[in-house]
Structure 1
Amino acid sequence: MKFINLTGVILIGLAVLTYSCKSDLETEPIELQTLEEIFNVKDSVGANAERFLADSYRFLPSTGNRVGGDFLDAATDDAVSSNPTNTSVQQLALGTYSSDSYHDNFWTSGYEGIRRTSIFIQNIDRVPLKGRLANGTPFNRVWKAEARFVRAMLYFELVKRHGGVPLLYDKVYQLNDDINLPRNKFEECIDFIVSECDLVKDSLHVDPISLTLFGRPTKAAALALKSRVLLYAASPLFNGGNIDGQNPLTGYAAMDATRWQSAENAAKAIMDLELFALEPDFRNVFISRNNERIFSKQGGNNTSYENNNGPIGYSSALNNGRTSPTQELVDAFGMENGLPITDPNSGYDENNPYLGRDKRFYATIFYSGAMWLNRPVQTYEGGADKPGGSRQQTKTGYYLRKFMGNFETASNYSNTNHDHILFRYAETLLNFAEARNERLTVPDLAVYQAIERIRERAGLNPYSLPLGLTKIQMRDIIQNERRKELAFEEHRFYDVRRWKLAEEEFNKELHAAIIYQAGTGVIRQTAVVYKMNFENRMYLAPIPFSEVVKNPNMVQNPGW
């Protein structure tokens, strides 16, 4: 293995090329078929080619309890793992990992998916597909565009972790090829991903997409990927403030203000489609296929989120209570009147701290007294959901509520939609507001309107922001709105890094709420769970040690 686990990846690819197999194209496992069978020159339907393409979608990122059984957000200041052992996300939070033990490693999976999509791109035109979209686009072109979209997204997942990575473009390397490739510059990677989005956007399915095609990328999905990529490229970590300003692998050596304009334009292009809207009920965004979702990886109808993360004390449901939101995240949610809890006019009552809060708080976090499965959650000491002892339970006095069905008054769970939502319209509005605010000297009406749409859906009354905010004041509001709105959707881990704030935000103590029931009264205290640790080198993930040691052209990220 010289590079990107490439030898292993090639062997997987050669299974497609060399295994002898039956001629039954409908039942033969796709990994055991030859390229001639998959891309059959006589198959006008393209059954096996489509199966090969569909199989590529599994390489797209997933969300939820995916990092050693935990949310990635449990490696931030928003949560900790309830697991009593030293978990993978705790090691990410404490910085106790190395280049050969990085716990959000996407390198091998990413490049395996890149290889498979490139095989598809190279071969699909051999299939004489006769089908067309309603707008006349031939299926060959549509399917090739889908493969390019998936590949572009896989590259972004690598770039957001590592900075510049090797670009293979359309080439599919074989065993006898020189695969000791160097990393491309960060700018080259960004330009390639953006160019792929531009190339495919008008060849993909049109929005709104039918439920029969749910999970296939559309024009808006390509625009959403472009928006996120350009927002990252414009951000301080990668735009003149990166950890090594002279290193072409990690970002742009000098700050380029025009990158904020590009990011703004990309988000505005989605808004101008006028095809998406914020789902009125925030909870329903995550449990129903609705018009706020731009692109999702198909999940399933099940009770996985509920069972993995629900409060542990319910006899009617087997819950593992895996995720413990922090007091820091709880305090980030302001009051229903739109004011932060620190504002003396907010009405916040420290003796009744969960009353009158931002509605997203109730949709995101279980607190002591919240209704669930026909009884109040009990996270006070000795309560049903925090009994003490060795059983896995909340470490902070809170459990994760987000992504779960509406089971407040139900007796049991029932299957709920749990797709992996990769892009939604609320992020588009936040991307636009951030990029435009950073581009301008002072925020204008368009910035206000984008953020106020988010706050209005959250039920804040009034939802409007005070006039005359400075650029820095608006920046703080936007960053806090992203934290609340996108909590547990795998944004904060990378947002705080790209903002170049991790040395401050991820070096803090994280706190729990300790609640005692004393007769008819309640005693509330806070306690430290642990102190996070962040070092400068952690802004970028290390290149896997196995790739660096076996490829003399592979440059490791600084500090690793």
Structure 2
Amino acid sequence: MKKYIFNKPLKSISVALCLFLLSCADYLDVVPDNIPAVEHAFKNRQQAEAFLYGCFSFLPNFGEGGSNPAMLSGDEVWYIDPVQGMSARYWHVARGTQGANAPIGDYWASKQTSYDLKGGKAMFTALSDCNIFLENIHKPFDLEDYERDKWIAEVTFLKAYYHFWLFRMYGPIPLIKENLSINSPASEVQRYREPVDEVVDYIVELLDEAVKGLPLEIVDVMNEMGRPTKSIALAVKAQLLTIAASPLYNGNTDFSDMVDNRGIQLFPQTYSAEKWERAATALEEAIKVAHEGGHELFDFKTTSYVAKLNEKTILAMQTRGAATERWNKEIIWGDSNSNTDNLQRACHPVFAFAHSSGSVRKSYAPPLHIVEQFYTKNGVPIEEDKEWVNVDLMGLRKAGAEDKYYIKENFETINLHFDREARFYGSIIFDGGTLYGNSRVNEDNDLWVTELKYGKVGGGNSPTNRYSSTGYLCKKMIHYLSSQSQTSDSFTQYRYAFPIIRLADLYLMYTEVLNEIGGPGTKAYEYIDIVRKRTGLKGVVESWEKYSSNPNKPKTKDGFREIIQRERMNELAFEGARFWDLKRWKLAKEYMNRPIRGLNILGETSQDFYQETMVYQLKYEVKDYLWPIKQSVLMNNKNLLQNHGW
């Protein structure tokens, strides 16, 4: 099986094997011990390029649930175990089985270059390799200066991003600015975790340095799409500074006990408004450069399939297409290395009994609170919409002709599925709902219909390793050109680059930061309303004034903050944003102590199926905001401080 980096196979040169042998420190892989292998790795351009690809190989597979903790460790999707074809590893974090003896997703792991049974990659090994590269890339005799400079910028970006990944998971971390000599005393190897603000400043320093040598956009699209650009580096910088300004890291007294044996407080205990200002400056630059690089919000109307499509279908495809249309202009950074085949199979429904135990897995299931989270067609939350005050969400209703593009005409389903915003219909598969795609793309007069009751082709809990645990499936992450064969059990994926950062994310972050600085205002409204307009929603002020029971909510700082947070949850659903957002907002403890609710998946009739069922009771503590450091690592280095509560 070929390993893909960007859009081409990773070169399997024997030198790449040295990546497995480059480090020896007991707790951090920062001391190279195979000097002859290092010298050989930079003998010429070809060998150096192999080492470059090795530095890239530590990037997480963002689109795979067994590799990216943001996909299954939270409350956005509920899973089953055992499940076929996609790891349920991080789902066990959501179920409360994380521990310090053998952490799930151990990215602090020592002496690893691939995923272990707990799902981590050795990020400190990655940082060691980045340093080795930067220290030796001057040696290849046949490497042109322009290419050397570009590679240096790329690896500097990777060095920044690996620090960022660790910071987002663990908080304060050691800074691996350079590798230690093999003759370094044990006292130097026993590194300390540095305070939050120092970590953030160092990552910013690396990103600023990388930006100087990165291209504005990728020219060699066949071979290099997914490699760092100025826009990517600046977007990561903006994301980092927004996180640093957020409540988890800005005056968080919950972690006041995190003082190391030097007497240094690792978490800043005093709130700083200046951190929001710094984030705003970074976001302004990131958005400006993204526009210069040709990035703009995706519009499904620009595709070749819209001529015979109804406006409702197009609106539902806007955000779904923004996430899955291959290399569309909204994608600032996409992961072309992730295999989205597994993800799409986990999301995809079936339409014939012959397929129900075959190649698709129909197990990536949003809970009921995610279904309820999306707005009504009026662009406000269900619980605030004046038109929904006396509506029984579980009450049955029959779809009419006006509903046919979203719900099968004459199908009986619940009120919760009617009159919702277009993003709901582009994101959620529900009983009686329609599916655009799966070989039916030129028109929408005969869309697929998903039936999820027990005894129907897509319902129930059979087979036991492929079913929805909540009665819903995720539609958004299925590309509309992916296809489940009508005559066989085969599934053909249309591969796309999983969205790591897209422009709408930056717009909504900018809105959030502006609100934190000065409260609601014209510019803050402008950026959130641009995102809403794409799917047919009115601006926040107009929508709340006309439809909400709390019409002044967008005009107060606290109220507008809630609106922005809800907007991010809806716009970026199933893309890994919610998991980290709830943490940085310090809202995970609130959201992740609620029950996971679903429908009665064993119900055969409407009356039985549409019964709210508690699937699992979540439990979340303050300690869960940060990942635990493995206990054996702490035993080897007494200068390291364990995260709070572990």
Q: Alignment partner for residue 368 of structure 1, among 423, 431, 437? A: 431
Contact 1:164 1:249 in 2 (8 A): no
Q: Does 1:529 align with 2:540?
A: no
| Aligned partners of 1:339 and 1:346 also within 8 Å | no
Deviation at 1:243, TM superposition (A): 2.1
Residue in 2 that maps onto 1:182: 192
- Alignment partner of 2:138: what SS? helix
SS of residue in 1 equivalent to 2:563: helix
Residue 508 to residue 204, structure 1, CA distance change in 2 (3 Å) = same
What RMSD, in angstroms, separates the aligned Cα atoms of the two structures?
2.9
Take 1:425 and 1:249, find their aligned partners in 2: how far apart are those partners?
36
Tell me what 1:546 maps to. 632
Identity %: 26
Which amino acid letter does the alignment assign opposite residue 330 of structure 2?
E
- How far residue 127 of structure 1 moved from its aligned partner, in angstroms, is 2.6
Question: How many angstroms does 1:227 deviate by?
Answer: 0.5
- Of the three residues 65, 78, 81, the one matched with 2:79 is 81
- Give the corresponding residue for 1:191: 201
Residues 1:394 and 2:468 aligned together: yes
Q: What secondary structure sits across from 1:48 in the alignment? A: helix
> Structure 1 pair 409/79, CA: closer, same or farther in 2 (3 Å)?
closer
Structure 2 residue ranges without an equivalent (≥5): 1-22, 110-121, 259-263, 300-317, 397-414, 439-446, 546-551
**Structure 1 residue 409 displacement after superposition:** 8.3
CA distance in 2, matches of 1:5, 1:240: 37
Instruction: Specify the SS of the correspondent of 2:213.
Output: coil
Q: Of the candidates 37, 42, 50, which is equivalent to residue 39 of structure 1?
A: 42
In 2, Cα distance between equivalents of 1:5 and 1:14 = 6
* Range that drifts further, 465-474 or 442-451: 465-474
Determine the structure 1 residue equivalent to 2:581.
Answer: 495
- Partner SS for 1:167: coil
2:321 is equivalent to residue 318 of structure 1:
no
**2:180 & 2:509 partners in 1: Cα distance?**
35
TM-score for both structures, normalised by structure 2: 0.76
Distance 1:198 1:544 in 2: 32
Change (3 A) 1:305 1:77: closer
Q: Contact (CA 8 Å) 2:280, 2:510: kept in 1 or not?
A: yes
Q: 1:142 aligns to what?
A: 150
Residue 361 of structure 1 aligns to a residue whose secondary structure is helix
Counterparts of 2:419 and 2:219 in 1: how far apart (Å)?
A: 38
Does 1:456 find its partner at 2:533? yes
User: Which residue of structure 2 lines up, in the alignment, with residue 58 of structure 1?
Assistant: 57
Give the whole-Å Cα distance in 2 for the aligned partners of 1:163 and 1:544.
15
Q: Which region of structure 1 is more displaced relative to structure 2, 393-402 or 345-354?
A: 345-354
- 1:295–1:328 CA distance, 2 compared to 1 (3 A): same
Deviation at 1:53, TM superposition (A): 0.8
Q: What does residue range 385-424 of structure 1 map to in structure 2 within 5 Å?
A: 385-389=458-462, 391-392=464-465, 393-406=467-480, 411=485, 413-424=491-502
* Cα deviation, residue 7, structure 1: 4.5
Matched, 1:164 2:172: yes
Instruction: Verify the 8 A CA contact 1:397 1:514 in the aligned structure 2.
Output: yes
CA distance in 2 between counterparts of 1:160 and 1:362 reads 32
Residue 470 of structure 2: SS of its match in structure 1? Answer: coil
Q: Tell me which residue corresponds to 1:98.
A: 99
Quote the Cα distance in structure 2 between the aligned partners of 1:60 and 1:249: 30
Q: Give the TM-score, by structure 1 length.
A: 0.87
Deviations 1:73-106 (A, max 9, x none): 3332222113258954343223332112322321
**CA deviation map 1:106-137 (0-9, x unaligned):** 112211111111110111122345646xxxxx
Say yes or no: does 1:235 pair with 2:235.
Answer: no
Letter in 2 for 1:268: E
CA, structure 1 residues 361+526, in 2 after alignment: closer, same or farther (shift >3 Å)?
same
CA offsets per residue over residues 417-476 of structure 1, 9 Å max, x none? 232332211111111111111111x21111111111111123325675547521111111
Over 3 Å counting, the alpha-carbon distance change for 1:272 and 1:100 in structure 2 is same
- Offset at 1:548? 0.4
Q: Which residue of 2 aligns with 1:434?
A: 512
Moved more, 188-197 or 173-182: 173-182
* Deviation at residue 252 of structure 1 after TM alignment: 1.2
- Partner SS for 2:237: helix
Q: Which residue of 2 aligns with 1:304?
A: 342
Q: CA deviation at 1:177?
A: 4.5
Measured at CA, do residues 79 and 292 of structure 1 come closer, stay the same or move farther in structure 2, by a change above 3 Å?
Answer: same
Q: Give the structure 1 partner of residue 321 of structure 2.
A: 284
Which residue of 259, 268, 271 maps to 1:255?
271
Matched, 1:341 2:341: no
Alignment-derived partner of residue 135 in structure 1 = none
1:115 alignment partner in structure 2: 128
- Using the TM superposition, give the Cα deviation of residue 164 of structure 1 relative to its aligned residue in structure 2, in angstroms: 0.8
Q: Is the 8 A contact 2:423 2:535 kept in 1?
A: yes
